[in-house]
Amino acid sequence: MARPGAACPPPARRVMVAARALLFWALVYSYCGVCACIAGLRLLWSIGRRPGETFRWVVRENPPACLNDPSLGTHCYVRIKDSGLRFHYVAAGERGKPLMLLLHGFPEFWYSWRHQLREFKSEYRVVALDLRGYGETDAPPHKENYKLDCLIADIKDILESLGYNKCVLIGHDWGGMIAWLVAICYPEMVTKLIVVNFPHPSVFTEYILRHPSQLIKSGYYFFFQMPWFPEFMFTLNDFKVLKSLFTSQATGIGRKGCRLTAEDIEAYLYVFSQPGALTGPMNHYRTIFSCLPLQHHEVIMPTLLLWGERDAFMEVEMAEITRIYVKNHFRLTILSEASHWLQQDQPDIVNKLIWTFLKEETKRKRE
């Protein structure tokens, strides 16, 4: 019931809002259907060419040695009281040092931050998390458990469980989306924000509706809305899609990048080849259209945005537009020869840029 005296939107406005919502969902489901048809054609093509290889799926029984490399840190677990979920993370650096919390993207896990775990442990307690549903972290079965407010609450609760009330927060790809949202919702918990290859969420939602080229690049968002079929497609040809994401000329690490070794690839295959290992990660995407756009937008802490210009999934124009939402010092660095997997592609440059930003902010505060 409306409050006495409260103004009601005129009928024309209500009709316009309803029409826009209808158009939006029609677009979502129509594009989902298109992506499904394309995936189905690829499946038929693969079966026609190599029927014996198409359905081969090898579950890796033992982790490669790189996942237990002591130079990366210590494997730890924490159980969150409110959700009851157990989270896995790898921590490097002494307890009591300022916290640097690292949030990975898709399809990745804590190991994507191996270069940063080694680099920043000298001055920080560096924690690389397996997000909800990934790796050794618990994976709730229902997609409703992966709504953005749950993912944001995870980071807040983990921070408190680790004994900290603030951190330097770094996120890449989908982890970048979560990092932006944590910075918006809990600004007191983030001293400095660093995001790699993901724009401010409001920029993303506005840009994708106005630029068909970005809509096409983000087709996997729509494809993942379907149950079970996306997971099935990832397993074909012994996870060929997963391998090509990191190694192909179109989407993989660039020619001048730090290419993944065979052992690095095996680490990814070990994690994602386990039964059910892909459903949690894809569930992150299955609630996004009901959670965006945002009601609150502003980011008030110093922010560094790093971007690989050869990103096959995100158009670089979104990086510059992000500036308008940061109401503090904002630094944008675009690396021309780098891919979407920036912190693995150009680790030395990325680490140097992060150090410069962190030292610069410390110096600015002293002055």
**Which residues are designated catalytic?**
173, 285, 340
CA distance 131 to 169: 14
CA-based nearest residue to 154, from 120, 135, 181, 117: 181
CA-based nearest residue to 112, from 343, 355, 330, 353: 343
Q: 111 near 182, Cβ under 8 Å?
A: no
| DSSP symbols for 122-166 | TTSEEEEE--TTSTTS---SSGGGG-HHHHHHHHHHHHHHTT-S-
CA distance 208 to 338: 22
In this structure, what is the dihedral angle of CA atoms 16, 223, 143, 114, given to the nearest 10 degrees? -120
Q: Which residues pair with 86 in a beta bridge?
A: 79
Q: 111 near 117, Cβ under 8 Å?
A: no
CA distance 153 to 22: 30
What DSSP designation does 326 have?
A: B
Q: Which residues pair with 196 in a beta bridge?
A: 172, 306
CA distance 236 to 57: 7
Q: 287 near 148, Cβ under 8 Å?
A: yes
Beta strands, E only, 5-148: 74-79, 86-92, 99-103, 125-129
Residue 119 host element (H or E): helix 114-120
Q: Which residues pair with 102 in a beta bridge?
A: 128, 170
